[in-house]
Structure 1
Amino acid sequence: MNGKCPGSHEMFVRCMFTVVLSLMFLVGGAERGSADEADARRILKAMSDYVGAQESVSLEFDATLEVVTKEEQKLALASSGTLTLNRPDKIHVTRQGGFADTEIFFDGKVMTLLGKNLNLYTQLDVPGTIDHLIDELRDTYQRPLPAADLLLLNSYDALMLDVTDVKDLGSGVIGGIECDFLAFRTNEVDFQIWIAQGNQPYPCRYVITSKRISGGPQYTIQIRNWKTGDEALAADFTFKNPTNADKVDLKELKGVGMLPDHFKEGDAK
């Protein structure tokens, strides 16, 4: 022995490695095959049915987006926000991070994206439902709403698309709420979801891990203060511009995305 004690970070890694090894044996030995998969699918479908049936929802969230530098350092960008929806066609979202303070209004006809820290906004004509808006923002404008798939009328089909592996990993506790813990795999990503147990099976935490980017960065969103029906908080869904913000084209509204402007996306490895 050289008498040198490992540093706190090294000790943490050693301890976590031991836990990971234990977990590998635990999961492998506890698998019940098709029964586990059927339970996981049933729980996810119950969440989808419950969330899709809610006409009014309000919630708060904390999100972390990991990025990996070319030196393979993993960085976590944290933000928090709120979301309120009234089905079928109204939604209001706020998000605050260290580099952006944004707000989205949708009244069933026009979507407004406001950069509050910039006092600039843009508007898009996207008449239709919340589901249609989610699809348009993701596919046409590359500006997905936080954990948008969880809000769809039928989130089950969207989440299960291209899934190749399903696991029911028992239970966990998120924010004091006991949850069912499920894990899924596709060729592109792995994702985990914790769903509240009981008669309100809402998503408490959702983690997506990239399998195509070096370092396996993750996007994590944790939901709190879930309210539905008459308990859901009220919100303005139509933009009124109380600060006299200037209107610009979408391409001119910089600094309101998930990444700061000084972060440059690289190629997947």
Structure 2
Amino acid sequence: MLKSAIASGLLLILSTQGYADESSEKALALLKKTTNTLQSAKTLSVRAVATIDEVEPTEDFKLQRTFSLEVKFERPGKLYAQKTGDENQVAYFDGKTFTVIDPIGKRYGQMALEGTVDDLLMKLDELNVQAPLIDLLLSNLTEVAQKSVLKAKYIGVSRVAARNCEHIAFRTAVADWQLWVAQDAQGSICKSVITTRSVAQAPQYQVTFGQWTYNTSIEENSFTSKIPAGAQQVPLTPGTFRLAL
């Protein structure tokens, strides 16, 4: 499951035990730079294009879905995330209520939750709700990312969407995780690929990011849910929604 892959591949990645070679040390240093930027940002916004593999349990086909992403985030507890394409959903969190909307199916799920995005992450994990990459928003991302990676490697400089990026790779017990980090002051993420080896046919989740914007004001109404007229409320239970992030 992508959530467990993220947990193993992203959040457990900065351990320095057993790493003496220059390649792994460089990869870990770049990852730390990136996570420090993300966790220190008071606000951030980004657009991206994502592809996700889905393995059909009955026919064993591996199918690829593609969608565009837009994310806006304000610490400590405000989030907007929208995806459009093969999957269409919008998610809102205003620090008091979490809402996810399927505008095509005209349905939505909602739950009261007063707290931060960290609290939201904990609740989603309890519900076994799939929310790939949402762990990037943890307030203590660098601190949490201190455990158990089997291998780290610096690959080299690569071009992603007309940007020079440094390609790094990691292996955990369940997943391989590749990251392309921009050669800029922030170490912004250009691209991420997670390959879940623990799942049959090793499905991938790939995201190519546009320009990240940090620490600029975001309109307050961006985080207020806008439920379409006639939409039916459904329980927010495991498997009902795969979130936009």
- Judge same fold: TM > 0.5, yes or no: yes
Q: Structure 2 counterpart of 1:147, which letter? A: L
1:120 aligned to 2:107?
yes
Within a 5 Å distance, the mapping from 1:44-59 to structure 2 comes to: 44-59=31-46
The Cα shift of 1:77 comes to 1.2
The Cα shift of 1:251 comes to 4.2
In 2, Cα distance between the equivalents of 1:164 and 1:61? 29
Larger relative contact order (C-alpha < 8 A, sep ≥ 6)? 2
1:86 aligned to 2:74?
yes
In 2, Cα distance between the equivalents of 1:141 and 1:127? 16
The Cα shift of 1:88 comes to 0.9
In 1, Cα distance between the equivalents of 2:59 and 2:227? 43
1:170 aligned to 2:170?
no
In 1, Cα distance between the equivalents of 2:219 and 2:228? 21
State the identity as a percent. Answer: 28
The Cα shift of 1:233 comes to 7.3
Moved more, 191-200 or 117-126: 117-126
The count of aligned residue pairs is 224
Equivalent residue in structure 2 for 1:76, among 48, 57, 64: 64
Partner of residue 267, structure 1:
none
> Are 2:165 and 2:183, in contact at CA under 8 Å, matched by a contact in 1?
yes
> Are 1:196 and 1:202, in contact at CA under 8 Å, matched by a contact in 2?
yes
- Equivalent residue of 2:135, what SS? helix
1:190 aligned to 2:176?
yes
> Are 1:67 and 1:76, in contact at CA under 8 Å, matched by a contact in 2?
yes
- Cα distance change, pair 154–178 in 1 and its aligned pair in 2 (3 A): farther
- Cα distance change, pair 222–157 in 1 and its aligned pair in 2 (3 A): farther
What is the aligned-residue RMSD (CA, Å)?
A: 2.5
- Cα distance change, pair 202–153 in 1 and its aligned pair in 2 (3 A): farther
- Whose radius of gyration is greater, 1 or 2? 1
In 1, Cα distance between the equivalents of 2:38 and 2:238? 35
In 2, Cα distance between the equivalents of 1:130 and 1:252? 19
Q: Structure 1 counterpart of 2:40, which letter? A: A
In 2, Cα distance between the equivalents of 1:127 and 1:61? 28
Partner of residue 95, structure 1:
83
- Structure with more of its chain in helix, by fraction: 1
1:65 aligned to 2:52?
yes
Q: Structure 1 counterpart of 2:236, which letter? A: L
1:257 aligned to 2:245?
no
> Are 2:178 and 2:193, in contact at CA under 8 Å, matched by a contact in 1?
yes
Contiguous gaps of at least 5 residues in structure 2:
1-18
Equivalent residue in structure 1 for 2:138, among 148, 152, 155: 152
- Cα distance change, pair 252–72 in 1 and its aligned pair in 2 (3 A): closer
In 2, Cα distance between the equivalents of 1:54 and 1:62? 22
